[in-house]
């Protein structure tokens, strides 16, 4: 830990070079998501502006309305945290995408400041 870098460059680089090493470590909703890169051994704290669940027609029928995107992500993190991976990362456009490999849910995020420890 120690030094904190306020830049999205590090997580963008991790995603570009070794996306599979980037894992969700902790939910700190609604404010932040904490990621860990096992390759660089860096922790990235990503501020969350909006979190939405991308729902296919089939899924919408299956799951029905009710739970919010953050509740769904909380469910996933509680049940199978390691199944959640980063599928898209664009710090220039402040966008990020997550995927749960277990339930095949896709999450879209608008992100704010990123801190790397
Ligand atoms: Zn890395
Ligand atoms: Zn899941």
Rg of the chain (C-alpha set): 14
Confidence (pLDDT) at 86: 97
Reported as a single tens digit per residue, the pLDDT across 6-32 is: 999 999 999 999 999 999 999 999 999
Among all chains, which residue has been given the structure tokens 């277990």? 102
105 CA from centroid of ligand 2 (Å) = 6
Q: What domain range includes position 107?
A: 5-116
The Cα–Cα gap between 107 and 88 comes to 10
The pTM score is 0.89
31 CA from centroid of ligand 1 (Å) = 23
Confidence (pLDDT) at 63: 62
User: Taking ligand 2, which is a single-atom ion, which protein residues have CB atoms under 5 Å away?
Assistant: 76, 100, 102-103
Q: How many domains does the chain have?
A: 1
Between the alpha carbon of residue 24 and those of residues 2, 10, 56, 61, the distances in Å are 21, 15, 23, 28
Q: What are phi and psi of 5, to 5 degrees?
A: -105, 120
What is the arithmetic mean of pLDDT over 100-112? Answer: 94
């Amino acid at each position: 830990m120690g030094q904190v870098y306020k830049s999205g460059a590090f997580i963008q680089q991790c995603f570009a070079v070794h996306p599979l090493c980037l894992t969700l470590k902790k939910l700190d909703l609604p404010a932040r998501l904490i990621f860990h890169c096992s390759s660089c051994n860096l922790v990235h704290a990503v501020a969350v502006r909006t979190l939405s669940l991308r729902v296919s027609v089939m899924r919408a029928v299956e799951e029905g309305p009710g739970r919010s995107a953050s509740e769904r992500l909380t469910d996933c993190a509680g049940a199978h945290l390691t199944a959640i991976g980063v599928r898209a990362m664009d710090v220039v456009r402040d966008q990020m995408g997550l995927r749960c490999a277990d339930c095949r849910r896709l999450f879209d995020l608008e992100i704010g400041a990123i801190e790397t420890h």
